[in-house]
Amino acid sequence: MSNTALATKTSLYNDVSAALQAIGVDPSTLDGEIKTRSPLTGETLLFLPKHTAEDVEAAIDRADEAFRTWRDVPAPVRGTVVKRWGELLTEHKRDLAILVQAEAGKSISEAEGEVQEMIDICDFAVGQSRMLYGQTMPSERPGHRLMETWHPLGVVGVISAFNFPVAVYSWNTALALICGDSVVWKPSEMVALSALGAHTLLARAIEEQDAPAEIIQLVLTDRYAAEKLLDDPRVPLISATGSTRMGREVGPRVAARFGKTILELGGNNAAIVTPDADLDLALRGIVFAAAGTAGQRCTTMRRVIVHESIAEELTEKLVSAYQTLTIGDPRDEQILVGPLINESGFQGMQDALKAATEQGGTVITGGNRVLEDEFPEAYYVEPAIVTMPAQTDIVRDETFAPILYVLTYSTLEEAIALQNDVPQGLSSAIFTENQREAELFVSASGSDCGIANVNIGTSGAEIGGAFGGEKETGGGRESGSDSWKSYMRRATNTVNYSGELPLAQGVKFL
């Protein structure tokens, strides 16, 4: 459908169009089958072209061909592309944030924070481009050198979700590019404009640095056409972010051809609050992690496990804090809680609240739809707090909405057991001023999650640390630390400069 068919040009449409133009995309040239919708108002923004399965295959062809040139470019030179991308992201931080806000419903502070994550990972990757270190090991044979080297992997397929439209792409792409890989990106159709904006800025950086244009490919398509990525042996790595259900389909399918995966799937994150906690600190950490982004983060806090001696006091503080949360169109910078992504997200929240009450829980605040008269096509809700007598089935399930379950415990060992007794294993936290409790929580006997925090909430990871989780969260790691190794292949090299041919382990032959 042509964008000229849109009946009205609202202020939101005008803001999005201006942001696209500033980035380098002319909205008047766009048309197609993908309808971009804003959860802020429910209105249609623009229509974008939809790629077919044949288009996806052609994108893989181009990326594979470009890889064969890109892999031989020195890594520090590859880093200049990522450096320039970071500069362009800095220049257009507000523009890209406007697109993220319009499509994901975030406050402008959170949207700009997401773009800042992109800038930060570019900085990290540029430094990493000079540190793709291998090791030299002592050889048991005289006149031999034993070492390992790291080499580019190939085409990396990136599949990303709606809730972080651009940051997760950058975590993968900045590292993949400095490692010498090419990238094919399949973003969520719900955030296609944000993806187009991020892609356009990177394409400009590539052009300015005289790198092969084909090393990045953007495919705007549905899950069925994108399945080409899962099955093509020229795509040795798939990095997929989404639900555990999606991961159950992606993981085995890629493994069947012996491909690699980085899976970032569901989270059911908890904070333990002990009697030795600073309750005011805990309160601030809990409220942001539970209600921020309207509960639509994989690291959203979904459970509070609080000691029975302070449960009533903390619950009262939480209810009072929730009643001060401003809910509405986050283009107003005083608004803290924006909309759910769509009707399906709202219905999922209502179904979960119903199940919680049927399983013995009590909704003590929130859960209602608000602003329905003002925004009939958008879904704003009050973040909910539910007290639960036990960790029932609904508590152990992830609902992608702002529901916070409150459970109590009597011993720290019991609290840690509750924290771990869910299928997911992404993020976790403990609030305590007791050093022994803190150390136990981050020990091997403590949290079983990929992220274990002390005196901060479950959301807001920095790019310097590896991001990811265990169990049904998928086991993948992205962003900082040594995550770069996922985008490369390791080779063990033995160099014989002795003039003799001794065999390892003293084996004699001939």
pTM tops 0.75 = yes
Q: Based on the fold, state whether residues 258 and 283 are members of the same structural domain.
A: no
Please tell me whether residues 105 and 224 are part of one structural domain. yes
In a domain, residue 506? The reply is no
Span 133-169, pLDDT tens digits: 999 999 999 999 999 999 999 999 999 999 999 999 9
Q: Is the pLDDT of residue 3 over 80?
A: no
Closest to 125 (Cα-Cα) out of 81, 159, 155, 67:
81
Helices (H), 129-233: 167-178, 192-208, 223-231
pLDDT at 127: 98
The confidence score (pLDDT) of residue 8 equals: 57
Closest of 70, 85, 78, 48 to residue 200, by C-alpha? 85
pLDDT in tens, 213-237: 999 999 999 989 999 999 999 999 9
The answer for residues whose C-beta is within 8 angstroms of residue 256's C-beta and 6 or more apart is none
Question: pLDDT tens across 372-398, in order?
Answer: 999 999 999 999 999 999 999 999 999
Q: Can you give the pLDDT at residue 451?
A: 98
CA distances 383 to 32, 290, 298, 508, Å, are 36, 8, 16, 73
149 close to 180: Cβ distance less than 8 angstroms? no
Dihedral pair phi/psi, residue 306, rounded to 5°: -115, 140
- According to the model, what pLDDT value does residue 222 have? 93
257 and 379 housed in the same domain: no
Q: 500 lies in a domain?
A: no
Four-CA torsion 172, 175, 179, 185, nearest 10 degrees = 30
CATH of the domain at 152: 3.40.605.10
238 contact partners, CB below 8 Å, separation of at least 6 = 156, 157, 159, 229, 230, 250, 254, 259, 260, 261, 262
Does residue 224 sit in the same domain as residue 359? no
Q: How far apart are CA 162 and CA 173, in angstroms?
A: 17
Residues 171, 176: Cα–Cα separation, whole Å: 9
Nearest to 431 by CA among 249, 260, 277: 277
**Contact at 8 Å (CB) between 483 and 175?**
yes
- Within a domain: 435: yes
Please check the confidence at residue 96 and state whether its pLDDT lies above 80: yes
pLDDT in tens, 174-201: 999 999 999 999 999 999 999 999 999 9
Q: Per residue in 33-45, is it b (16+ CB within 10 Å) or e — as a string?
A: ebebbbbbbebbb
User: 235 with 282, same domain?
Assistant: no
Residues 362 and 253 in one domain: no
Q: Are residues 224 and 304 in the same domain?
A: no
User: Residues 404, 292: contact at Cβ < 8 Å?
Assistant: no
Residue-number span of the structural domain to which 186 is assigned: 3-265+474-490
Same domain, 224 and 122: yes
Pairing of strands 269-273, 301-307: parallel
Q: How many CB atoms lie within 10 A of CB 18?
A: 13
Structure-block tokens of residue 318: 């939480």
- Report the distance separating Cα 112 and Cα 167, nearest Å: 11
Do residues 98 and 239 share a domain?
yes
Instruction: Decide if 174 is inside a domain.
Output: yes
Q: On the CB side of 299, how many CA atoms lie within 13 Å of its CA?
A: 24
Say yes or no to pLDDT of 9 above 80: no
Whether residue 499 is contained in a domain is answered as: no
- Active-site residue numbers? 264
In a domain, 457, yes or no: yes
Residues 425-455: tens digit of each pLDDT: 999 999 999 999 999 999 999 999 999 999 9
* Burial class of residue 87 in the structure, from the number of CB atoms within 10 Å of its CB (0-12 exposed, 13-18 middle, 19+ buried): middle
pLDDT value of position 5: 45
Amino acid found at 507 = V
- 222 and 360 in a single domain? The answer is no
Quick one: 188 and 74 in the same domain?
A: yes
Task: For residue 98, give Cα distances in angstroms to 49, 114, 276, 288.
Answer: 21, 11, 42, 21
pLDDT value at residue 510: 77
d(CA 90, CA 20): 15
> 264 phi and psi, to 5 degrees?
-120, 100
How many domains in the chain?
2
In a domain, 502, yes or no: no
Q: What percent of the chain has pLDDT over 70?
A: 98
pLDDT interval class at 338 (50, 70, 90): very high
Q: What is the pLDDT of residue 461?
A: 86
Asked whether residue 73 is domain-assigned, the answer is: yes
Question: Does residue 7 have a pLDDT over 90?
Answer: no
Residues 82, 67: Cα–Cα separation, whole Å: 16
Q: How many C-beta neighbours within 10 Å does residue 362 have? A: 12
445: which DSSP letter?
T
Residues linked to residue 287 through DSSP beta bridges, in sequence order: none
Q: Does 256 share its domain with 308?
A: no
Token digits for 483?
Answer: 């995550």
Amino acid at 268: N
| Percentage, residues of the chain above pLDDT 90 | 97
What dihedral angle (degrees, nearest 10) is formed by the CA atoms of 164, 162, 57, 83? -20
Distance, first Cα to last Cα, the chain:
75
Contacts of 113 (CB under 8 A, 6+ apart): none
Give the CATH number, domain containing residue 341: 3.40.309.10
Torsion of CA 219, 223, 224, 229, to 10 degrees: 60
Record the tokens describing residue 178, joined without a space: 């400095």
HEC profile for 47-100? EECCCCHHHHHHHHHHHHHHHHHHCCCCHHHHHHHHHHHHHHHHHCHHHHHHHH
At 362, give phi and psi (nearest 5°).
Answer: -130, 120
The tokens for 467 are 């991001």
